[in-house]
Structure 1
Amino acid sequence: MNINLLDRNSNPAIILAGILALIVGVGVARFVFTSLLPPMLDDFLTITFAGVLASINFVGYLGGSIFAIFIKDINTKVKFFRFGIFLCLATTLVLGISSNETLWAISRVVAGFGAAMALVVGSAIVMTKLKMDNKTKAMGIHFSGIGFSVFVTDIIVRIVFAYEGSWRDAWIVLTIFGFVASMYSMYILSFDKELKQNVVKHKFDKSLFSPFVILLIIAYFTEGVGFVVQGTFLPDIINSLEGLNGYGSFTWTLVGLAGIPSCIIWMTLANKFGSVNIIIIAMLLQVVGILISALTTNVYLNLFSGVLYGGTFVGLVALFMNLGGKLAGSNPVILMGAFTTAYGIGQVGAPLYSVKLIEIYGNYSNALYVTAAIVLAGVMLLFVAKKFATQEQSKI
Structure 2
Amino acid sequence: MRKTLLDRNNNIAILFAGILTIVVGLGVARFAFTSLLPFMLDDFLTLTYAGILASLNFAGYLAGAVFSVFIKDINTKVKYFRIGMVLSVLTTFVLATTVNETLWLISRVIAGFGSAMLIIVGTAIVMVKLNFEDKTKAMGIHFSGIGVAIVVNDLISRYVLQNGTWSDAWLVLSLFAFIISFYSMYILSFDKELKQEAVKHKLSMSIFSPYVVLLLFAYFTEGVGFVIQGTFLPDIINSLEGLDGYGSLGWLLVGIAGIPSSIIWMRLAHNYGSINIIIVAMSIQLVGILIPALSNNMYLNLLSGVLYGGTFIGLVALFMNLGGQLAGKNPVVLMGAMTATYGVGQVTGPLYSVTLIEYFGNYDTTLYLTALIVFTGIVLLVYAKKREV
Which residue is 1:283 aligned to?
282
Deviation at residue 201 of structure 1 after TM alignment: 2.2
Which residue is 2:149 aligned to?
149
1:249 aligns with 2:244: no
Q: Which runs of 4+ in 1 moved over 6 A?
A: none
Q: Deviations over 1:108-130 (max 9, x none)?
A: 00000000000000000000111
Opposite residue 118 of structure 1, the aligned amino acid is L
**Secondary structure of 1:389's partner?**
coil
- Structure 1 segment 139-178 matched on structure 2, within 5 A: 139-162=139-162, 164-178=163-177
Which residue is 2:64 aligned to?
64
Q: Give the Cα–Cα distance (whole angstroms) in 2 for the partners of residues 123 and 324 of structure 1.
A: 16
Q: Give the Cα–Cα distance (whole angstroms) in 2 for the partners of residues 191 and 56 of structure 1.
A: 33
Kept in 1, the 8 Å contact 2:243–2:298? The answer is yes
Identify unmatched segments of 5+ residues in structure 1: 391-396
Q: Deviations over 1:225-265 (max 9, x none)?
A: 00011100000000000000000000000000000000000
Q: Deviations over 1:184-217 (max 9, x none)?
A: 1000000000000011223221121111111001
Deviation at residue 329 of structure 1 after TM alignment: 1.7
Which residue is 2:46 aligned to?
46
Q: Deviations over 1:151-195 (max 9, x none)?
A: 110010011012x11000000100110011111100000000000
Deviation at residue 334 of structure 1 after TM alignment: 2.0
Q: How many residues align?
A: 389
- Structure 1 segment 9-28 matched on structure 2, within 5 A: 9-28=9-28
Kept in 2, the 8 Å contact 1:3–1:12? The answer is no
- Structure 1 segment 362-373 matched on structure 2, within 5 A: 362-373=361-372
Q: Give the Cα–Cα distance (whole angstroms) in 1 for the partners of residues 186 and 325 of structure 2.
A: 31
Which residue is 1:75 aligned to?
75
Q: Give the Cα–Cα distance (whole angstroms) in 2 for the partners of residues 379 and 323 of structure 1.
A: 16
Q: Give the Cα–Cα distance (whole angstroms) in 2 for the partners of residues 77 and 360 of structure 1.
A: 45
Kept in 2, the 8 Å contact 1:8–1:189? The answer is yes
Kept in 1, the 8 Å contact 2:203–2:330? The answer is no
What is the TM-score with the length of structure 2 in the denominator?
Answer: 0.99
Which residue is 2:269 aligned to?
270
Kept in 2, the 8 Å contact 1:328–1:335? The answer is yes
**Secondary structure of 1:252's partner?**
helix
Identify unmatched segments of 5+ residues in structure 2: none
Which residue is 1:138 aligned to?
138
Kept in 2, the 8 Å contact 1:82–1:186? The answer is yes
Deviation at residue 3 of structure 1 after TM alignment: 7.2
Kept in 2, the 8 Å contact 1:3–1:10? The answer is no
Q: Give the Cα–Cα distance (whole angstroms) in 1 for the partners of residues 204 and 143 of structure 2.
A: 28
Deviation at residue 2 of structure 1 after TM alignment: 9.6
Which residue is 1:230 aligned to?
229
- Structure 1 segment 1-396 matched on structure 2, within 5 A: 4-162=4-162, 164-390=163-389
Opposite residue 235 of structure 1, the aligned amino acid is P
CA RMSD of aligned residues (A): 1.0
**Secondary structure of 2:259's partner?**
helix
